[in-house]
Amino acid sequence: MTAQLVVDSLSLNFRTRHGTVQALDDVSLTLGKGEIVGVVGESGSGKSVTAYAVMGLLDDTADITNGHINMGGAEILNATPDALNALRGREMAMIFQSPRTALNPIRRVGHQIEDVLREHANIPARELRREAIAALARVRIPDPERRAKAYPFELSGGMCQRVMIAMALACSPAVLIADEPTTGLGVTTQAVIMDLIRDMSRSGDMSTLLITHDLGLAGEYCDRIAVMHAGHVVEAGPTEAILTRSAHPYTRQLLAATPTPETRMDDLIAIPGSLPDLRRPLPVCRFSARCERRQPICDEPPLAWAQCGPDHVVRCRFPL
């Protein structure tokens, strides 16, 4: 499979008033053509930062200390703002987490979609409006002609989310970065939107990086899953392998903490401890303080990858 997106050994720090935050360390991901890859983990694990890095949206407090990001042949990390802008829309698009803050509050939503189309797609001016309305209809917004004239504050949160998604899908991007695309939507709308994203990936050329904290959602829709913890990818592999033969203790705990239809209260297991403070010196394995299988050798570098199945890798000395 040809890779649409390769994130290779990305390490990144943020300079803040309270010290340097080691947000990502040696993060690698690949996204093949037509594939849906899930990035799962708790808040603070580095999922969204990875997405922002891919889109070239990091601000100047971010120091990239190592790595490459390759998007369909183009290098992202040293690209000029113009070059990045040329990629956005057609090559890559992003669904942001909070539609209320991501949309322009004082511009009608239809116009906002037209802006994207004008900037990034080769569409005659007189067809912009029609295209924008079609984009709204695709995400099942009822009465799209009327809704196109609405301002974000006139729409419900779920409706804003759909506008956001319509905007990202408007130019049929080769790579879609979906950062918690269905947060705030009800389950039935979530299912409709995720089916749409899956169908676009399956039928065409869109590849999707799905960032979510919901293992159930990733499990249903993704071909492969990467599990992140405290800025590390700790395990990556085919969805089925991750869900049924997970090798990293953190993946196991995450699964045990996620209620499924079969879960009973006694089966539900809380993950002990919390994420380490990324501003402090960090142990080699950032999970070690929360790990039951920890041995003294875990504190010695390097933290190498181990193969535990076809296309299934884990970053642990004592995998399950």
Partner 1 sequence: MTAPATLLEARKLAKFYPVEGGARGARLHAVDEVDLVVGAGESVGLVGESGCGKSTTVRLLARLVDPSSGTIALSGRDITEVSQVRFVRSPDRARIQVVFQDPTESLNPSFRVFRAIADPLKRLQGLRNATDIEARVRRAAELVGLPLELLQRYPHQLSGGQRARVGIARAIAVEPSLLILDEPTSALDVSVQAVVLKLLAELRERLGMSYLFVSHDLNVVRLLCSRVAVMYLGKIVEIGPTEALFTNPRHPYTAALVGSIPDPARRGDPRPRLDGNPTSPIDPDPRTCRFYSRCAKSADICNRVMPLLRTVGRDHAAACHLA
| Contact track, partner 1, 17-56, x by CB under 8 A | -------------------------xx-------------
- Residue 11 as a binder of partner 1 (CB under 8 A): the answer is no
d(CA 232, CA 320): 18
* Residue (of 220, 301, 278, 287) closest to 23 by Cα position: 278
253 interacts with partner 1 by CB under 8 A: yes
271 binds partner 1 (CB under 8 A): yes
CB of 60 to partner 1, least distance (A): 27
Q: Is 264 in the site for partner 1 (CB under 8 A)?
A: yes
* Interface residue with partner 1, options 134, 238, 258, 277 (CB under 8 A): 258
d(CA 75, CA 96): 22
* Residue from 75, 127, 195, 299 in contact with partner 1 (CB under 8 A): 195
Q: What is the dihedral of CA 304, 307, 312, 314, to 10 degrees?
A: -30
For position 260 contacting partner 1 by CB under 8 A, the verdict is: yes
Please identify which residue in 86, 100, 108, 158 interacts with partner 1, judged by CB under 8 A.
Answer: 158
What are the start-end ranges of the E strands in the chain?
3-16, 19-32, 36-40, 62-71, 74-75, 92-95, 175-179, 207-212, 224-229, 232-238, 306-309, 312-314
* Count of other CB atoms within 10 angstroms of residue 282: 17
215 binds partner 1 (CB under 8 A): yes
Strands 36-40 and 224-229: parallel
Question: CA-to-CA distance for 25 and 315, rounded, in angstroms?
Answer: 12
Comparing CB distances to partner 1, the nearer of 106 and 265 is: 265
203 belongs to the binding site for partner 1 (CB under 8 A): no
If you ran DSSP here, which 8-state letter would residue 285 be given?
S
Given the complex with partner 1, which of 32 and 184 has the nearer CB atom?
184
From 9, 119, 130, 259, residue interacting with partner 1 (rule: CB under 8 A): 259
Choosing from 103, 217, 230, 291, the residue that interacts with partner 1 (CB under 8 A) is 217
Q: Is 149 exposed, middle or buried (0-12, 13-18, 19+ CB in 10 A)?
A: exposed
List the interface residues with partner 1, window 110-149 (CB under 8 A): 140, 142
CB of 105 to partner 1, least distance (A): 20
Cβ(210)–Cβ(40) under 8 Å? no
Between residues 156 and 295, which has the closer beta carbon with respect to partner 1? 156
Which residues in 75-89 are b (16+ Cβ under 10 Å) and which e? ebeebeeeebeebbb
Question: For binding to partner 1 (CB under 8 A), which residues are involved?
Answer: 42-43, 140, 142, 156-158, 184-192, 194-195, 213-217, 219-221, 239, 243, 253-254, 256-261, 263-265, 268-271, 274
